[in-house]
Structure 1
Amino acid sequence: MKHLRSLREFVEELDRIGDLRRIDTEVDWNLEVGAVIRRCYDLNAPAPLFTNLTGYQGTGFGLLGAPGALSSYTNPLARISLALGLGPDASGQEIVETLVAARSAEGIPPVVVPREDAPCKQNVMTGDAIDLFAFPTPLIHGNDGGRYIQTYGMNIAATPDGSWTNWSVNRMMIAGPDTLACLIPPPQHLGVIRAQWTAIGEPMPIALAIGVEPGLPFVGGMPLPQGADESHFLGALFGEGIDVVKAETVDLYVPATAEIVVEGHISVDETVMEGPMNEFPGYNATEASPKALFRVSAVTHRDGALQAVVAAGPPVEEDHTVIGTTSAAEILYQLREAGLPVTSAWYPFEAAVHWFVVAMRQDWHTTLGITSSELIDRIADVIFTGKPSVNAPKILVVEDDIDITDLDEVVWAFATRSHPERGEFHYPHKLSMQLAVYLSPEESHTFMAGKVVHNCLLADLYPEGAQPVKGSFENGWPQEVRQRVLSRWNSAYGFEER
């Protein structure tokens, strides 16, 4: 494992593998930056690093776009695997299995470093000096309600008794020089902690860390159980604690290598208008509405601070890679803990975390001695309990002769193996995402909606040994014929190697 301890180390690694495009030409933070990032998603282009931003020349400040998106490197998952310490060449299932292994390990708490050793303390703003507009935070989409400074940072908050610290990613829009408008859905862990502070009538202390080490946004998007500290999990993943330092004005510890740290409190009852904003389902479906008010008490930042920016929208962008990768790992861990013979799990990024796929061992039927309908119910009991339920509205269950990280194979299995009448299992009134465009206003407001599992299993439909076999290149020809074809592909047949 290679633990990249700062966003700057991550940028160096992207540059090393040829997956970074430094843009020194002047680019306007007002919409142009967002459009470039969006185009990079569409083309799987290198991550853009903007160094010359309109109105901010001479500050040294910069923006890194698409930090966790699909890569231009030979492995499209390179940014994800680098962020999680695996180098640039890990497969989707290797990444998921690494996260699952860390779930079984004991957490490692952060290491507190002296203030003088924390780069995030190089500059400090307090009182009248606080100015969030000092940074080149972009207006990302043409229909956004404002400039979103929090699209890929960490919100850090603790319960009033200090027993639980949560690290999460929730969007935040600049409302004024020293205020932010914050989306804090009540079912999310940040909302659960805020409710505890509201119950005692006190504003919630919070720190927003921007430009953090690359592994943090991934664990911040992982549906760990309530009470789990994401920083401890990241420590377990790397086998060492991350570096933190005490905040200036709130009783919290923040990543020592963060580029920018915004400190303050979430008001008990004050609100400010926020939105609209393009979101991960791929639509600008939200409207401006009153959101929680974040009053800023201090800002610290590194010299030449670098902000990581996500331009949320249609797949594939960071909402899909982060939530998809880490949620698949958490659900896989929970399914195995429940004693189910699950081989792998995956969110196809292209489905904007609306599809989730589970692959069972092909001998599940004889191993468990149950029917596929009984198995579906057992899977649903696990997935539709707690936070993992949020982003799994449509689930496909297949056997592991399907490579579930290959969307072509998933679509083929769904189309050919799920019975159009008996293959759907419906589960009403389950915890749901808020932003799906098909939800009714009531479902969106209550975070409760129906879920469906599509049964694409074959093992209990055929006698043992008589199940249909894929007529693939691997299955349809003897090994010696396949080897002959592969060895002659270029030299004899004239095809290009792929």
Structure 2
Amino acid sequence: MSAFTDLRHYIEHLTETLGSDEVRRVDGADRDADIGGITELMAEREGPALLFDNIPGFPPGYRVFTNFMGTAARTAVALGLAPDTPKLDIVRAWKDLAGRLEPIPPVRVETGAVLENVLVGDDVDLGVFPTPRWHDGDGGRYIGTACMVITRDPDTGWVNIGTYRACVQGRDRLSLWMLGNRHALAIARKYWARGRTCPIAVVVGQDPILSTAAAMAAPAGMSEYDLAGGLRGRGVEVLLPPGSELPVPAHAEIVIEGELPPVEEESVLEGPFGEWTGYYTHSGQETVVRVTRILHRDDPIILGAPPMLPTVPAGDQAVPLYSASVTWEHLEASGVQNVKGVWAYARQLMMVVSIEQTGAGDAMHALFAALGRKRTGGMERYFVVVDEDIDITDINHVLWAMFTRVDPKESIQVLRAPTTAIDPRLAPERREAGDLSMGVVLIDACKPFAWKDRFPAANRFDEATREALRGRWKGVLPL
């Protein structure tokens, strides 16, 4: 697995590994009118990563980096794999690594590049950074879309890291929206119960493994730093800024330190914000970070991962690492036999499982096991199981199986399961009542086991024939 020192190391490695066109520099883009739109249009086409510089109104070198894992090749490179690794093998490699992962604690260092600039007192000003307005309808400029929010449990000392959206609300104010079941909010409530504000740090700009680990939600009591260390094969270098008990990545681009008061003491209107569902679903009074200090490197880079429409395939999530690998692992732990792969479309709105059937109940077992991972809530809407001959990374193959191997009367079941607060389909009265449940669809798109050997044969060239054709017709046929 990769062990990039920092975000800059990853950017350099992308160029070295995939060529000079893999990271496209864009000069002069406006942070309100251009950056979000260019990012979205390029992501939809699985284009290159984008490094915005010379942003009007800001010094040269104050940059924004987007689409950082927007293709299968970039995702593979981020994980230390060959760039031509097949998509399903990327998920398999991640799943296998996570299954044998040995947490490695962070390594304490005394100094790091993040201390090159330290802003305190009257110098604290979040406006020095070219934070974009990612969507036309956003209620503000969101500096935190792929950030790390760091808190420490006052009882145990456990350092928790999560990813939450963070909006610039003024020179020294940042808003956070944290869902009620997240670890950071539980930690903050411990401080509030004691009449204290919660110390907090928001990291903007870190390597892709740290970004991925922050979004994974380690079990309570385990730090995502330890998780990231296990994924990288070595501990993350962290430092304690003067007077702070919150370890921050020594080579981060930007660190925003402060305190989190209870909403009753201070709050701000947060949102709306275009979420990954493609809708604006939440706006309200939310907690703020009272910023007391800003650390940043020379020529800092904002790492941006703005939510976009959950397209198929998803341009902003070329390989569904987390949702697919965790579901795959859950299936195997639930006793589902002969799982050949798991893939997710439109983020995780549709989960597709490939199995080799050995018994009449295998397909339904796989469907119910996949649904079982939703017990903590999530927006998975459709669960599909297919035979091993279907390439689940190709939506056309999945649809072909659904259109030709499904009897709508026998093969489809509709159940009810937990969803999340950002679900746009939740009726207003249900949301107000706290009823976060939604229908889910289970689709058995396998050949009927009782007569699968007599199912009509497909008129499709096999992979060996296709590979031979590609070899003979290089330059004519796509690789």
Q: State TM-score, norm by structure 1.
A: 0.86
Contact 1:248 1:298 in 2 (8 A): no
Task: Please state how far the C-alpha of 1:232 moved relative to its aligned partner.
Answer: 1.6
Task: Please state how far the C-alpha of 1:393 moved relative to its aligned partner.
Answer: 2.3
Question: What does the per-residue CA deviation read over 1:236-264, in whole Å, with 9 as the maximum and x for residues that have no partner?
Answer: 22211111111345421111110000111
Residue 23 of structure 2 corresponds to: 20
Verify: 1:11 aligned to 2:11, yes or no: yes
Contact 1:232 1:241 in 2 (8 A): yes
Verify: 1:462 aligned to 2:450, yes or no: yes
Contact 1:47 1:67 in 2 (8 A): yes
Residue 385 of structure 1 corresponds to: 375
Task: Please state how far the C-alpha of 1:13 moved relative to its aligned partner.
Answer: 1.9
Contact 1:372 1:455 in 2 (8 A): no
Contact 2:317 2:347 in 1 (8 A): no
Verify: 1:340 aligned to 2:336, yes or no: yes
Contact 2:406 2:444 in 1 (8 A): yes
Distance in 2 of aligned mates of 1:223 and 1:427: 27
User: Aligned in 2, Cα 1:447/1:489: closer, same or farther, shift over 3 Å?
Assistant: farther
Match of 1:128, as an amino acid? D
Residue 300 of structure 1 corresponds to: 295
Distance in 2 of aligned mates of 1:470 and 1:149: 50
User: Aligned in 2, Cα 1:321/1:488: closer, same or farther, shift over 3 Å?
Assistant: closer
Verify: 1:412 aligned to 2:414, yes or no: no
Question: What does the per-residue CA deviation read over 1:277-318, in whole Å, with 9 as the maximum and x for residues that have no partner?
Answer: 1110123x2353211111112110101111112332214599
Question: What does the per-residue CA deviation read over 1:472-498, in whole Å, with 9 as the maximum and x for residues that have no partner?
Answer: 2119xxx7xx4898289649xx95454
Task: Please state how far the C-alpha of 1:149 moved relative to its aligned partner.
Answer: 0.7
Matched ranges for 1:70-85 at <5 A: 70=71, 77-85=72-80
Contact 1:22 1:49 in 2 (8 A): yes
Of 49, 52, 55, 2:51 maps to 49
Residue 99 of structure 1 corresponds to: 94
User: Aligned in 2, Cα 1:376/1:78: closer, same or farther, shift over 3 Å?
Assistant: closer
Report sequence identity in percent. Answer: 29
Contact 2:367 2:384 in 1 (8 A): no
* Alignment gaps of 5+ in structure 2: none
Question: What does the per-residue CA deviation read over 1:258-277, in whole Å, with 9 as the maximum and x for residues that have no partner?
Answer: 00001112211221011111
Distance in 2 of aligned mates of 1:154 and 1:358: 31
Verify: 1:436 aligned to 2:423, yes or no: yes
Residue 109 of structure 1 corresponds to: 105
Task: Please state how far the C-alpha of 1:64 moved relative to its aligned partner.
Answer: 1.1
Residue 115 of structure 2 corresponds to: 121
Distance in 2 of aligned mates of 1:319 and 1:184: 26
Contact 1:213 1:257 in 2 (8 A): no
Task: Please state how far the C-alpha of 1:78 moved relative to its aligned partner.
Answer: 1.7
Contact 1:218 1:322 in 2 (8 A): no
Task: Please state how far the C-alpha of 1:469 moved relative to its aligned partner.
Answer: 4.4
* Alignment gaps of 5+ in structure 1: 71-76
Q: Could you say what secondary structure the match of 1:413 adopts?
A: helix
Match of 1:272, as an amino acid? V
Contact 1:310 1:318 in 2 (8 A): no
Residue 65 of structure 2 corresponds to: 64
Distance in 2 of aligned mates of 1:36 and 1:319: 13
Match of 1:112, as an amino acid? R
Q: Could you say what secondary structure the match of 2:287 adopts?
A: strand
Q: Could you say what secondary structure the match of 1:97 adopts?
A: helix
Matched ranges for 1:91-170 at <5 A: 91-104=86-99, 105-115=101-111, 118-170=112-164
Of 219, 224, 227, 1:230 maps to 224
Distance in 2 of aligned mates of 1:335 and 1:88: 28
Q: Could you say what secondary structure the match of 2:398 adopts?
A: helix
Question: What does the per-residue CA deviation read over 1:371-412, in whole Å, with 9 as the maximum and x for residues that have no partner?
Answer: 64455334433x1223xx413222112222222111111121
Residue 281 of structure 1 corresponds to: 277
Would you say how many aligned residue pairs link Structure 1 and Structure 2?
A: 470
Residue 472 of structure 1 corresponds to: 460
User: Aligned in 2, Cα 1:379/1:310: closer, same or farther, shift over 3 Å?
Assistant: closer
Contact 1:245 1:255 in 2 (8 A): yes
Match of 2:427, as an amino acid? S
Contact 2:363 2:385 in 1 (8 A): no
Residue 2 of structure 2 corresponds to: 2
Task: Please state how far the C-alpha of 1:176 moved relative to its aligned partner.
Answer: 0.9
Q: Could you say what secondary structure the match of 1:384 adopts?
A: helix
User: Aligned in 2, Cα 1:399/1:496: closer, same or farther, shift over 3 Å?
Assistant: closer
Verify: 1:486 aligned to 2:476, yes or no: no
User: Aligned in 2, Cα 1:192/1:360: closer, same or farther, shift over 3 Å?
Assistant: farther
User: Aligned in 2, Cα 1:271/1:375: closer, same or farther, shift over 3 Å?
Assistant: same
Q: Which moved more, 1:453-462 or 1:2-11?
A: 453-462
Match of 1:380, as an amino acid? L
- What is the root-mean-square deviation in Å for CA atoms of aligned residues? 2.8
Contact 1:47 1:64 in 2 (8 A): yes
Q: Which moved more, 1:434-443 or 1:257-266?
A: 434-443
